[in-house]
């Protein structure tokens, strides 16, 4: 195991630590550990806090960030697929359709509440991208000529969507319903079909709201 991985393991199991303590645990010099901590900080895996001491210099304590979770086992995708299979087995395809419809309706209500505060289409799309990014979709909005792109560079439900394409149809329908009075929405690129991202083309239909 690499030294950086050992450090992450120690911080995970023992909580925030100083470079001196980590050096002792790993039989390294404090300077050597600090170099590793700098590299881990640059990667976004750790952060530090300087804690004031009663005397002398503050003590620098290192801890893990949420980004470091990527270094540990995560079976959420496998669980998602298993849950979908279980829903179909117990409740049938109609049961899964009801689940997806409920998810869509819940998201629609949440998005509508946020977007009603915005007047222009670009403002609505920007707000939508912020909501989607908070859910893990890494969404951005760009303008091209007389239309917009809503781009989603990551799909946090990719495993579930691959197992059941109704999730993807539901999301397209969600956007179309949400922007029905202001724009037409079509999906031009699709992660499930091998694209790098999901790209939604948004064409204004209301000249007053551009």
Residue span(s) of the chain under CATH 1.10.10.10 come to 3-71
Distance CA 197, CA 188 (A): 10
pLDDT digits (tens, 9 = 90+) for 37-73: 999 999 999 999 999 878 888 999 999 988 887 777 5
Predicted confidence (pLDDT) at residue 3 exceeds the cutoff of 60? yes
Predicted confidence (pLDDT) at residue 162 exceeds the cutoff of 60? no
- For 76-209, give the CATH class: alpha beta
Work out the average pLDDT over 115-126.
93
Task: Output the pTM of the full model.
Answer: 0.59
The DSSP annotation for 82-120 comes to HHHHHHHHHHHHHHHHHHHHHHHHHHHHHHHHHHTT--S
CB burial of residue 180 (10 Å; 0-12, 13-18, 19+): exposed
CATH number for the region 3-71 comes to 1.10.10.10
pLDDT digits (tens, 9 = 90+) for 170-206: 889 999 999 999 999 999 998 878 888 889 999 999 7
Residue span(s) of the chain under CATH 3.30.1380 come to 76-209
- CB distance 110 to 192 below 8 Å: no
Predicted pLDDT at 148: 96
Length of the chain: 210
Distance CA 61, CA 64 (A): 10
């Amino acid at each position: 195991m690499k030294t950086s991985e050992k450090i992450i393991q120690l911080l995970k199991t023992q909580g925030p630590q100083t470079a001196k303590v980590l050096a002792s645990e790993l039989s390294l010099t404090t300077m050597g550990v600090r170099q590793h901590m700098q590299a881990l900080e640059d990667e976004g895996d750790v952060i530090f806090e300087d804690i004031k001491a009663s005397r002398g210099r503050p003590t620098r304590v290192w801890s893990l960030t949420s980004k470091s979770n990527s270094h540990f086992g995560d079976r959420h995708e496998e669980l998602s697929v298993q849950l979908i299979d279980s829903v179909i087995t117990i409740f049938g395809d109609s049961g899964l359709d009801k689940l997806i419809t409920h998810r869509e309706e819940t998201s629609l209500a949440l998005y509508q509440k946020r977007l009603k505060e915005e007047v222009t289409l670009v403002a609505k799309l920007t707000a939508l991208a912020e909501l989607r990014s908070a859910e893990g979709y890494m969404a951005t909005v760009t303008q091209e000529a007389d239309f917009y792109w809503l781009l989603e560079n990551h799909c946090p439900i990719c495993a579930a969507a691959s197992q059941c394409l109704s999730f993807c149809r539901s999301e397209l329908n969600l956007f179309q319903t949400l922007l029905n009075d202001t724009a037409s929405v079509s999906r031009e690129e699709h992660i499930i079909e091998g694209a790098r991202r999901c790209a939604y083309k948004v064409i204004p239909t209301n000249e007053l709201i551009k």
